[in-house]
Every structure is written in structure tokens, then in C-alpha cells.
Amino acid sequence: MELDAKIPEGPLEDKWSFYKAHARLVNPANRKKLPVIIVGTGLSGASAAASLAEQGYSVQSFCFQDSARRAHSVAAQGGVNAAKNYQNDGDSVYRMFYDTLKGGDFRAREANVYRLAECSLSLIDQAVAQGVPFAREYGGYLSNRSFGGVQVSRTFYARGQTGQQLLLGAYQSLMRQVELGKVKLYSRHEMLDLVVIDGKAKGIIARNLDTGAIERYAAEAVVIATGGFGKIYYLSTLAMGCNGSAIWRAHKRGALMACPSWTQIHPTCLPQAGDYQSKLTLMSESLRNDGRIWVPKLTDEKRAANDIPEEERDYYLERRYPSFGNLAPRDISSRAAKERIDAGFGVGTQHNAVYLDFSKAIKEQGLDKVKEKYGNLFSMYKKITADDAYEAPMKISPAAHFSMGGLWVDYELMTTIPGLFAVGEANFADHGANRLGANSLLQACVDGYFILPYTIANYLAGELKAEKVSVKHPQFEVAEREVTEQLERLMAIKGTKTADQFHKELGKLLYDKCGLSRSAAGLNEAILGIQKLHHEFYTQLIVPGTAGEINAELEKAGRVADYLEIAELMCHDALSREESCGAHFREEYQTADGEALRNDEKFCYVSAWEWTGTDAAPVLHPEPLVFEFIKLSVRSYT
């Protein structure tokens, strides 16, 4: 299989304009004849559904939540990037492009990343027009702050609720189209399989979570917008319902999976407090604008933070990365925190955290100014921990967060299955081996509002004369039967361990062996451990109830079954990449001072994997990364 990224010819800054000028169009009268399925109602899914429906396409929108506005985009806090240069501090589209490419350790396509930066300019205007209440300066201008991995202020924000406010804007646009009858919204429906007919995506099989009924839906194109699979680690910043099942079912139907081992560990989360937890809480990266990160210089320190004098504090990010300090990129900051914790300098009752201290900011700016910027985050911290971060430093720790990997897509956001598109975190496209903060909301919005409406039209224009398929096609019958058999198989095991127990074991194994750091020995151990757990899952799982009813345990079981397969592919991917880059840190490949050591000669590619069956090894199809406009360099933040 030879991968074609379909990158347009011409200068970097003209590629997207050239594509739009030459893409095929669909006559407005014909758009309603071309139904589109969109799975997921987060920022990428809701924006795509609203945009396509407004153009006149007939859209079917699916989410497993009881309301489209409960999608996990609501949880993003810190902001959304755009190269507006309102601060007049040297920002530009090119600088944002370079920061993003460098932040991803030069493991993303130039054309995709430049388009992301270019479209960021339009997104802010779009969001303001929707009523998103971005923070403003005294004079009324939109305010900006900085995020990790950059030296300018390009992040637009709505206190610590940016994801929620952007999602509400997209949700309002979506629900307007629902009210107009242009979008049919199916809440409490989970996609369980993709239907491929004559090599093209033509529909999905979904389970009605309220009745247990298996239902068929046909369309001329399918868009997957279901987010990432970071919840595979069990303890993560993601909600319990987040999963990787939609992209994985598509992968098993022929869509290649790209760079699955590139998963981000966020440096600014609340530390684990006990074995009873099923989730960790994200504290926005924006806090690192004013908070200083440190640990005591003494191991096993017993004194309270405020009792430790300044000269006995190690501001290790400022010490190791003076140019960026506390705003070093997430992968670097997380590894640095882990190194200090592992060396015995961790704080808190379990010695698994570091301090995030606002005393200097409060002294210099005043308490009211800090409250104005971060008040809801401080309130959330106090509600969860009972500690007042205005009086004493927060305790933070790294936690699993974002998936840079996902379904392989070309420049048009189409997978290797014609007619199947993946947008937002469900694809791998824009972030390389590490995502810079505030680029997640950006990519989700840009994919849905500004890219997919052009690229899906280019595909659908060729489907106008194609024979229309219905849910009565034999392939729908085959897919429905296979879905039903899998559900029955899970119900019939009658073991003694719940899906949550398996998920917890898998998460710990994966975090230890394929988390912040990896090694060949550890990854081989992980693969064997996952295979053993996989066998045990299908002999010892217990799912109470029946399939033909509301059954949350059955939902979990299906997702954990997929996680077990995704986890093994993650380890294969990490094992095959004999270098360190971004969030992928192989212990065998590091510099003398412990920094990531890339191997551009052998591994400057996107690793795209083909599913070959449960008992067969996956097949690698590398997509070489060609850098025409920037020069590969050592990624340094010192």
C-alpha cells in the first residue's frame, strides 16, 4: 500500500488557497441528495455537522451522550491559539507554523501544520461572531496569554472555560440546523461498526443505548469525530465515557492507524490520591503563565511548602530550560516532573506531585488580578482538594491526556477508506509527536468549520452518479450480524472480573511500560502482558444484564475489548520507532543530559499501520515526511 498525502503543489503559503480554488464543488440543489453521517458532537463533529447542514447537505449526527453539548470538548480549559499578533510581540502565521512543527519534534507534515496556523486567523472571528465570551483588555480588545513551547502570546481564552464556551458556540450552530430539519440528531447512540461497500464508506451500525437495539444508517460519506483514546490508561484527564472504539472499528475495516504510540502526558493535573479513583483532574496549562513549578531541594521533605525557604527550592524548569522556563512544552515538562519525583523529591502524601506556586504572581499583580484570570480553576482546586491555592502552592502531577496518533488521513482529512473522513483528535494530522497547548481546540474547530466543508465536497462531487445504497444492502446485514455476535460473545463469558478491573490493569501496565518513557525490554514485556490480559478478558469477563436493554457494563466491555487491541498496537509502534521524539521517549535514545534523541535518517516518517487480524502482527506502511520549507534541527528549549 502506497500512501498519497495529496499535498498540493506550490509555495507553502499558497497550498490551501490553491486547493480551494481547484477542488470540485457540489451544486446546492444536489447537496441534499448526498447524506453525510457524522459520529461525535464535540467541537470537530458539531462544527462539521453545522457547517455541512448550512451548506445544504443532509446530515445525520450521532453521540453516545444524552446531549450533544456533553461532548468532552467541554472539559478543555486554557485557550485556543491564533496568530493574530494582537500583542505586537512578533507573532505571525509562519512563526505559529514553526512553533507547532517544532513542538511536535518535526514529525508532522509541513502543509497540514501551515494550514492550521493560516486558518487560525479566521477561527477567532468566527467564534466572536457566535458570541464566545473571550477575555478582553480594559479597552475592549481581545486578550491573549502564552502557552507552553512558544515565546509569544497567541492564546485566546475565556477564563478557564474556553472549551466549554467554544462548544456552546458550535452546539448552538448545530441545534439551529437540527431545528431547521437539516440535521437529524441521534443522541444515546454508539457507533459499533463501519459499513464498507465496494471499498467505500457507506454507513454505520449503531446501538441505541436506551433500548439495546442495533440500528443501520446509510450515507454517501462518514465522518468520525470521536476524539482520542487517552482513556486507555484508565487514570487520565478524560471522562470515563471517552473511548477509541469508533476509530478502532474503522481501522479493522481497512483504515490505517497512524502513530498510535504518540500519546501525551499532561504536566498540570491533580495527583492521584488513592486506588479508588477512576479519573484525574486537569488543571489548565494556562496556570503555568503565572505559576512557578518547584520541588524541595531535600528528598523526603516533611515541611509545608510555605515553610521551605526560597534558597531550598528547586525551580527545575527554570533551571533546565531558561529560555522557556515554566512554559516548556508538555512532554518536556512532564518528563522533568517525573524525573524529580522518581529521584525522591516528590511532594504530597504520596510523594507523587510537584508544587505550582502563585505567591510571586499574587505579590506582583495583586490577588484580584490572579482571580480574574484563573478564579474558576482555583475554586475547582479547592473543591477537590480542600486546599486554598491562593495561600499555599497547588500540588500537580503528570497524567495521560491527549492522543497525537489516530486514523491516518491525507491532506483532505480522508482516511485510506474512500468516503471515510476523520477530524479533530480522531486523526493524527497536525501535532506530530507532541501537541502544543491550546492547539487542540484550534484543530477541532478548523477541521470542522474550514477544512472538511471543502474537502468532503471534493469527494462527494464524484459520488453524484454512483448508485445509492440503502440499509438493505447485504453488507449492512453482514456488519450487523458481526456486531451482534460480538455483543453476544461478551455477554456469554460469565466470568468473575468486570470490564473496569481489566481496564485498570491494562492502564497501569501501559503507563508503566508505554507511558512517559519506554524501552525495548519494557515494551516487549508489555506486549506479552497485554496478550495475556486479552486472553483472560475473553475467559474471565462478567457482564451483568442483557444486551437488549440499557447496559452500561456492556458498553464498557466493548470499549475495553478495543483498548486491549489498541494497546498492543501502541506498543508495536513504540517498539518499531528506535528514536526519541516528542512524547515518545525511548530510554535507549537520549542525549547525555537526558533529552530526546531523534533519528531523522531512519525515522522521519509517519508510521501508518494496517490491521491484519487478531492473531497476526500489524503491517507498517511508513509515509515519509519531506521538509521543503524548514530545516530539521535539534529541538531545544534552553
Burial of 121 (0-12, 13-18, 19+ CB in 10 A): middle
- The residues of the chain that CATH labels 3.90.700.10 are 269-400
**pLDDT interval class at 70 (50, 70, 90):** very high
- The residues of the chain that CATH labels 1.20.58.100 are 485-576
Asked if 487 and 543 touch (Cβ cutoff 8 Å), the reply is: no
What is the C-alpha to C-alpha distance for residues 431 and 601, in angstroms, rounded to an integer? 20
Per DSSP, 435 falls in state P
Residue with cell 514529525: 107
Average pLDDT over residues 172-187: 98
Average pLDDT over residues 27-33: 96
What is the C-alpha to C-alpha distance for residues 593 and 612, in angstroms, rounded to an integer? 40
The model's pTM: 0.97
- Which of 115, 216, 330, 577 is the catalytic position? 330
Q: Is 69 a catalytic residue?
A: no
**pLDDT interval class at 578 (50, 70, 90):** very high
Average pLDDT over residues 516-528: 98
Residue-wise pLDDT tens digits, 424-440: 999 999 999 999 999 99
Whether 610 shows a pLDDT value over 90: the answer reads: yes
- State residue 614's pLDDT score: 84
Average pLDDT over residues 30-58: 98
Give the three-class secondary structure for 407.
strand
Task: Kindly report which listed range (252-256, 465-469, 622-626) carries the lowest average pLDDT score.
Answer: 465-469
Helix (H) or strand (E) holding 403: strand 394-403
- State residue 381's pLDDT score: 97
For 485-576, the fitting CATH number among 3.40.50.1370, 3.40.50.300, 3.40.50.2300, 1.20.58.100 is 1.20.58.100
- The residue count for the chain: 638
* Helix orientation angle between 43-55 and 452-460, rounded to the nearest 10 degrees: 60
Residue-wise pLDDT tens digits, 470-520: 999 999 999 999 999 999 999 999 999 999 999 999 999 999 999 999 999
Percent of the chain with pLDDT over 90: 96
Q: What is each CA distance from 99 to 163, 287, 427, in whole angstroms?
A: 22, 20, 20
- The residues of the chain that CATH labels 3.50.50.60 are 25-262+404-460
Q: 269-400 — its CATH code?
A: 3.90.700.10
Q: How many CA atoms lie within 13 A of 120 on its CB side?
A: 32
Superfamily of 25-262+404-460 according to CATH: FAD/NAD(P)-binding domain (3.50.50.60)
